[in-house]
Amino acid sequence: GAGVSQSPSNKVTEKGKDVELRCDPISGHTALYWYRQSLGQGLEFLIYFQGNSAPDKSGLPSDRFSAERTGGSVSTLTIQRTQQEDSAVYLCASSLGTSGSREQFFGPGTRLTVL
Amino acid sequence: AQKVTQAQTEISVVEKEDVTLDCVYETRDTTYYLFWYKQPPSGELVFLIRRNSFDEQNEISGRYSWNFQKSTSSFNFTITASQVVDSAVYFCALSEAGGNQFYFGTGTSLTVIP
């Protein structure tokens, strides 16, 4: 079946503009994660969704960042008033459930460049 | 404090050499899970292996092997007879049974020189 898909693959924007990044998880996966990977760095956890439960937003770096997950499937990460330090690859992952034993399946990422 | 430490930032080996990637983790949970992922130049992370804290058996899969030692909180990854296609960034990760998050190390960039 299809893997995790993300769009757009690349996004270039000007400082101060808002951007929306989209993630389509694997069908049937109830858990969805967003991460940020800056150049040469590891993965920074941003937010986690599990079914209809309240999301774990503990990793969001500022109130300019928000995310939604509609219908328990597609998720959108929104960054308002983008700054140059927001430039990074944003990765989405999904897994079958909340248990920490479940491996995550990653999408190809969206490379965001803020000029 | 870092929950997962990958002290080796970059490693270069010549093809056919063996290479070990180190991973040290930190957790107070008694039930936890350890993972290795590969991120090739194309960028998409690929799951390699998962171990749970109750199973310290080492695992071998082809040229890949993993050494899990709770006594030293380490989960090291060895590639035997490395190949150019093994060139990638490798990430070690930890998840705790009581939490939602995966904690990733900063990755080790492996270059296999032909």
Q: Mean pLDDT for each consecutive 10-residue tract of chain B (114 residues)?
A: 88 97 94 94 89 86 93 96 96 86 92 96
pLDDT classification of A71: cutoffs 50, 70, 90: confident
Scanning every residue of chain A, which has its alpha carbon at the shortest distance from the alpha carbon of B29?
A100
- Non-local (6+) Cβ contacts of B47 within 8 A are A103, A104, A105, B35, B37
B111 Cβ contact list (under 8 Å, min separation 6): B10, B11, B12, B13, B87
DSSP per-residue codes, B39-102: E-TT---EEEEEEETT----EEETTEEEEEEGGGTEEEEEESS--GGG-EEEEEEEEETT-S-E
- Residue of chain B whose Cα is closest to the Cα of A31: B100
A and B: number of Cβ contacts within 8 A: 57
Quick one: pLDDT at residue A99? 63
Q: Is A34 on the interface with B (CB under 8 A)?
A: no
Please choose, from the candidates A70, A21, A5, A30, the residue with its C-alpha nearest in 3D space to the C-alpha of residue B100: A30
A99/B97 Cβ within 8 A: yes
A1 contacts chain B (CB < 8 A): no
Q: What is the pLDDT of residue B96?
A: 87
Give the type of residue at B42: S
Q: What distance in Å separates the CA atoms of residue A54 and residue B21, rounded to the nearest whole number? A: 37
Give residue A100's pLDDT.
Answer: 63
- C-alpha–C-alpha distance, residues B13 and B19, integer Å: 7
Question: Above 80 in pLDDT, residue A55?
Answer: yes
Measuring CA to CA, how many Å separate B14 from each of B9, B64, B89?
A: 17, 17, 16
At residue B1, the pLDDT reads: 59
Q: Across the interface, do A104 and B47 touch by the CB < 8 Å criterion? A: yes
Q: How many Å apart are CA B110 and CA A79, to the nearest integer?
A: 33
Closest CB to A45: pick one of B44, B46, B101. Answer: B101
Interface with chain A: mutation pick from B45, B47, B89, B103, highest number of A CBs within 10 Å = B45
Task: Verify whether the Cβ–Cβ distance A106 to B96 is below 8 Å.
Answer: no
Name the strand (E) or helix (H) holding A32. Answer: strand A31-37
A50: nearest CA partner in chain B:
B100
pLDDT digit string, tens, across residues A73-110: 899 999 999 999 999 999 999 998 766 667 899 999 99
- Pair type for strands A110-114 and A10-13: parallel
User: Is the distance from CB of B102 to CB of A45 less than 8 angstroms?
Assistant: yes
pLDDT, mean of residues A28-34: 92
Is A107 near chain B, with CB under 8 Å? yes
Q: How far away is chain A from the Cα of B35, in angstroms, using its nearest Cα?
A: 8
